[in-house]
Structure 1
Amino acid sequence: MKIMLVDDENLALLQLERMITNAFTEHGVQDQIQELKSFQLVQQALDYAKQSPPDLIFLDIQMPEITGLEAAEYFQQMLPEVEIIFVTAYDEFAVKAFELNAMDYLLKPVSASRLSKTVNRIMARRKDKQPQVLVEKPQAKQKIYCFNHIRFQVGDGIIEYPKWRTAKAQELFAFLLHHRGEFVPKYSIINMFSPELDKKRAMTQLYTVIYQIRKCVKEANLEIKIDNDSIQEGYCLRLENTVIDVEQWEKELNQLQPQDPQYYNKLEELLYQYEGDYMGNYDYLWAESERERLRQLWISNAKDFLQHLYAIKDWSRLLKLGDKMNSFSPYEFEYGIYMMEAYDQLGQYDKLKQFYEKQEQTMLEELDLPLPEDMIHWYEAWLASRKGIQNKV
């Protein structure tokens, strides 16, 4: 077992190194220590860990260069399986330590009896970790759904809703996914998600939420990296072998060729793949611009297809698509006459009246405006014609 100690105080390091050696000896497992290295600077410890990854890290929390909580995040990003034991003089950090998946925490001054319990915990954890035989298997393509709400799918498995521990973890993941491939500065995240907290508390909360996200993603068996760049002081979510539904939808829509004999069939299929707005079930203001852009892209193509259906007099398909458009954009009245004529042609006169009255009510109550004149004239002419037919009968 390779053990690393990180503390900015040299005397504290020397004492802890001696106590750890004695504790392992007392338990008769001193042969388990393959290497025991101490560092006063976090960056030196990180650099060494890249060359010789440790299995266990005793990490001080209060350090001037970088806090232990932040250092733990760097170590966990580099070495997901590493075990961390925090060493602190402040009991307030205990809860945060466990939220960051620490194996244990020790309060300074560290006592021999308390360290003995920690060694017991270390050996029990190592005993539980059975060696696994790695079997090469093809990497399953994963998919992330963003229409309406975020869902995950690995390979041909079922589509699952991620089990977020907090709403903040859910939104921060969505935000990083929205900016995938880009480094998002930590100060931007803090200003957006925790403006009410002081910097120290906000940074601690940020590390905890990032850990929660990584844990949720791991439990979902997704290959997603969230890099923490110490130079740029930000996070970057990276995806490989991953399909994003909205990204795929827009790409296929842009690849359609009007001269293709199957153009309208393919267009119709894509229009119905639009299950709902981009992250539409979440009230994320930062997503509104992209949400509106994709919605307008759908509406524009839906209008084109409605015109096509009107031209070929396919009234049933026209009504189906018109209802979908109305649910996404109740103020789009350009297709109103198409809908009313379709109802008329199919003999659905009651539904025609209901449609008109609902549109009229929506305009008056929400916009305090009348319907477009062409819709009013069409409807009045239709009513007159219906009266004429009834009078003849």
Structure 2
Amino acid sequence: MRLILLDDEPLALRSLGAQLGKIDEIEIVGSFINPVEALAQAESLKPDAVFVDIDMPQLSGLEFADRLLAMDDSITVVFVTAYDDYAIKAFELNALDYLLKPVHPSRLALTVSRLQKQMVSGTVSSGLHAKPLSFKTAIQTCPCLVVEDKGGEPLSWRTVKAKELFAYMVHKRGQPVRKETLLELLWPDVDEKKGYAQMYTAIYQLRKSFKKSDLGIDLVNSGDGYLLKEDSVTIDAFEWEKELRALQELDADTEERHASVFSSYPGDYLLEHDYDWAEGERQRLRNLRYRHGLALCRYWSETNRGKEAADAYEKLLTEFPYAEEIYEALIVLYDREGYGSLAMRQYEALEIMLHSEFGEAPSEAARKLYEQLRDKQQ
């Protein structure tokens, strides 16, 4: 196991290194008193884990860990500190453990044992460019919440409240959520004492279910609240947005990738659940979907890819049935491609939609286009 040690106190650094050096299968690949230097060399040293002091003047251990995990979140962090007040914050950063100074050999051995067990089980990757785990827990949020176990079977929920609590923790992924927030959100009309009891019961049931299924998911204590801790987990809505934001400018070279992201849209976020708190995120993701889809349709239309454009427009129309500009774009496209009757039917569908939903008529430009289409048909 390859380790980096970081502590601005040289004596403490040497002491920790000496203790670790007595343990089999441990290789200390770097010892640093300067966190900036440690960050600079981390990629070339490829550590499996780092032992880092929290209280350092130039860059705190928490900040160091945050930057290191941003480079590669497969590296395991163990904090060393003289103050146990830092423990909660340490675990918010998904630290494996924290050690109080002076570090006792038996306590250090326990931490190393945990590291070695994780290495054997595959939950700690080796090096900055290690391969991902073969299994990833899948959390589906679109259009409803489903968590699949390793056999592909959906996880069952003991209560409706437990399911919504977990959905909200997924929604706030990476952020600690205060107990008071959960109480106000899920048990607003329940007596406070009874509400807390129900919340603790729901948390217990979720933890028990996750542990039994061995999914790499847990709800850990974080100050006066909870934090969703997940190892090797994919969440459909977040994965789709990540792919979307990674796209390069749309052109002939990137068109295929854009089309793939368009076709992989998982559906509307938590659509089948009556969660008021999810509405804002649902609309935000829908807006991303709409803008990207419209840009792709227009690109295909402008590059004389009529069939691809029409198919994509029709797909968008099923998702955004009140988007007048999609109707109008299809009218123009069908007319240009020589499908006058389809263009006229599209106008008629637009007319019916606007009248029934908004009590309005199509725009003057759309009406003139329809008149031109009608004249062509006569």
TM-score by length of 1: 0.58
Q: Equivalent residue for 1:241?
A: 232
Task: Measure, in 2, the Cα distance between the counterparts of 1:234 and 1:285.
Answer: 21
Determine which of 236, 241, 246 is the counterpart of 1:255.
246
Determine which of 169, 172, 179 is the counterpart of 1:176.
169
In the alignment, is residue 355 of structure 1 matched against residue 346 of structure 2? yes
Matched-pair contact (CA < 8 Å) for 1:333–1:372: no
Distance apart, 1:165 and its partner CA: 2.0
Distance apart, 1:342 and its partner CA: 3.7
Q: Taking structure 1 as reference, are residues 227 and 314 closer, same or farther at Cα in structure 2, changes over 3 Å only?
A: same
How much identity, in percent, do the aligned residues show? 30
Task: Measure, in 2, the Cα distance between the counterparts of 1:225 and 1:305.
Answer: 39
Q: Equivalent residue for 1:200?
A: 193
Please give the residue correspondences for 1:87-106 in structure 2 after superposition, counting only pairs within 5 Å: none
State which drifts further: 197-206 or 134-143: 134-143
**Deviations along 1:318-360, whole A, 9 cap, x unmatched?**
2221122112222222232331244445665554444322222
Q: Taking structure 1 as reference, are residues 297 and 208 closer, same or farther at Cα in structure 2, changes over 3 Å only?
A: same
Q: Secondary structure at the match of 1:163?
A: coil
Determine which of 275, 282, 285 is the counterpart of 2:266.
275
Letter in 2 for 1:374: A
Q: Taking structure 1 as reference, are residues 252 and 202 closer, same or farther at Cα in structure 2, changes over 3 Å only?
A: same
Q: Equivalent residue for 2:182?
A: 189
Determine which of 348, 364, 367 is the counterpart of 1:373.
364
In the alignment, is residue 318 of structure 1 matched against residue 313 of structure 2? no
Task: Measure, in 2, the Cα distance between the counterparts of 1:225 and 1:246.
Answer: 20
**Deviations along 1:217-238, whole A, 9 cap, x unmatched?**
3454311120124xx3211112
TM-score by length of 2: 0.60
Q: Taking structure 1 as reference, are residues 354 and 167 closer, same or farther at Cα in structure 2, changes over 3 Å only?
A: farther
Q: Equivalent residue for 2:138?
A: 143
> How many residues are aligned here?
251
Task: Measure, in 2, the Cα distance between the counterparts of 1:258 and 1:245.
Answer: 23
**Deviations along 1:157-207, whole A, 9 cap, x unmatched?**
53x433112221111111011112222111111111111111111111111
Distance apart, 1:386 and its partner CA: 0.5
**Deviations along 1:24-71, whole A, 9 cap, x unmatched?**
xxxxxxxxxxxxxxxxxxxxxxxxxxxxxxxxxxxxxxxxxxxxxxxx
Matched-pair contact (CA < 8 Å) for 2:210–2:218: no
Q: Equivalent residue for 2:71?
A: none
Q: Taking structure 1 as reference, are residues 347 and 295 closer, same or farther at Cα in structure 2, changes over 3 Å only?
A: same
Q: Taking structure 1 as reference, are residues 349 and 275 closer, same or farther at Cα in structure 2, changes over 3 Å only?
A: farther
Task: Measure, in 1, the Cα distance between the counterparts of 2:309 and 2:235.
Answer: 29
**Deviations along 1:278-305, whole A, 9 cap, x unmatched?**
1122221111111111111111111111
Q: Taking structure 1 as reference, are residues 197 and 337 closer, same or farther at Cα in structure 2, changes over 3 Å only?
A: closer
Q: Equivalent residue for 1:296?
A: 287
Task: Measure, in 2, the Cα distance between the counterparts of 1:260 and 1:317.
Answer: 15
Distance apart, 1:261 and its partner CA: 4.1
Q: Secondary structure at the match of 2:272?
A: coil
Task: Give unpaired runs (5+ residues) of structure 1.
Answer: 1-133, 388-393
Matched-pair contact (CA < 8 Å) for 1:145–1:151: yes
In the alignment, is residue 334 of structure 1 matched against residue 325 of structure 2? yes
Structure ID, larger Rg: 1
Q: Taking structure 1 as reference, are residues 335 and 259 closer, same or farther at Cα in structure 2, changes over 3 Å only?
A: closer
Q: Equivalent residue for 2:218?
A: 225
Task: Measure, in 1, the Cα distance between the counterparts of 2:370 and 2:214.
Answer: 56
**Deviations along 1:110-154, whole A, 9 cap, x unmatched?**
xxxxxxxxxxxxxxxxxxxxxxxx994545332322221223346
Task: Give unpaired runs (5+ residues) of structure 2.
Answer: 1-117, 123-132
Task: Measure, in 1, the Cα distance between the counterparts of 2:121 and 2:194.
Answer: 43
Q: Secondary structure at the match of 2:367?
A: helix
Q: Secondary structure at the match of 2:220?
A: strand
Letter in 2 for 1:288: E
Letter in 1 for 2:353: T
**Deviations along 1:305-325, whole A, 9 cap, x unmatched?**
111111123222222211221
Task: Measure, in 1, the Cα distance between the counterparts of 2:292 and 2:119.
Answer: 47
